[in-house]
Structures are given as C-alpha cells and as structure tokens.
Amino acid sequence: MANTISDETIEYVGILAKLELSDEEKENAKKDMESMLDYIDKLNELDTTGVEPMSHVFPVQNVFREDVVENGDGSSATLANAPESRDNAFVVPVTVEA
C-alpha cells in the first residue's frame, strides 16, 4: 500500500459528508480509501498522451427536452414524505444565522 490516509483526512471527509463514524468504521474507511487511491495510481501508469479526456461513460450526447410545461401541481406527492409540513411547505429546524 503506497497511499496512507491520515486521521485528519478521514475526520474532514466525515464532516463534509455529515457522517459520524465510529473508530472501527474510520479504520475501515481509511483502508477502503487507500486501496482506491492505489488503484488510481495504477491507472496513472498508463501513457495517455494524445488521448482526449472522456467526459461521460456513455457514447451519447445532446439529450434534451423541449421547453413545454407537462407537470401539474405536484405538492401532495412532494410533501407525502415530509416528516413535518405546514402551509404546503416542509418544516425544518431554523437555518438562519444568529
């Protein structure tokens, strides 16, 4: 294993992803990330000079919609899974900065 993930890195990634990891989970996640980075290093051994970077895995482009309204009132379906709602809106803990 060439790559090592530090405790700080795993902590930081956890904060960004809003995940609280146990010590055991952290160690497992470190190992997973290390082996992913090793794999990327392996890929980097290939000489790609003159190869266009790929922007998508499918050989498809230009999938468009015309600008026509097709959806009607979707509020009841949208709010069906809301843990709490009021006045047709989702209710969440207040988000404004103090």
Partner 1 sequence: MSKQYETVIGLEVHVELATKTKIFCSCSTAFGGAPNTHTCPVCTGMPGSLPVLNKKVVEYAAAVGLATNCTITQNCKFDRKNYFYPDNPQNYQISQLYLPICRNGSVEIETEEGKKTIGIHEIHMEEDAGKLVHDEWEGVSLVDYNRSGVPLIEIVSEPDMRSAEEVIAYLEKLRMLIQYLGASDCKLQEGSMRADVNLSVREVGATEFGTRTEMKNLNSFKAIARAIEGERARQIDLIESGEKVVQETRRWDDTKEYSYAMRSKEDAQDYRYFPEPDLVPIVISDEWLDEIRAAQPEFRDEKKARYQKEYDLPEYDADIITGHKKLADLFEATTALCKKPKKVSNWLMGETMRLMKEQSVEPEDLKFSPGNLAKLIELADAGTINGNVAKEVFEKIFAEDIDPDQYVEEHGLKTVNDEGALRSTIEQVIRDNPQSVDDYHNGKEKAIGFLVGQTMKAMKGKANPAMVNQILKELL
Q: Least distance (Å) from partner 1 to the CB of residue 48?
A: 17
- 64/96 Cα distance (integer angstroms): 37
Residue 5, burial from CB neighbour count under 10 angstroms (0-12, 13-18, 19+)? middle
Q: Is 6 in the site for partner 1 (CB under 8 A)?
A: no
Of residues 18-37, those binding partner 1 (CB under 8 A): 18
**Nearer Cβ to partner 1, position 24 or 73?**
73
- 11/7 Cα distance (integer angstroms): 6
The residue ranges that bind partner 1 (CB under 8 A) are: 12, 15-16, 18, 55-58, 60-71, 73-75, 77-79, 86-97
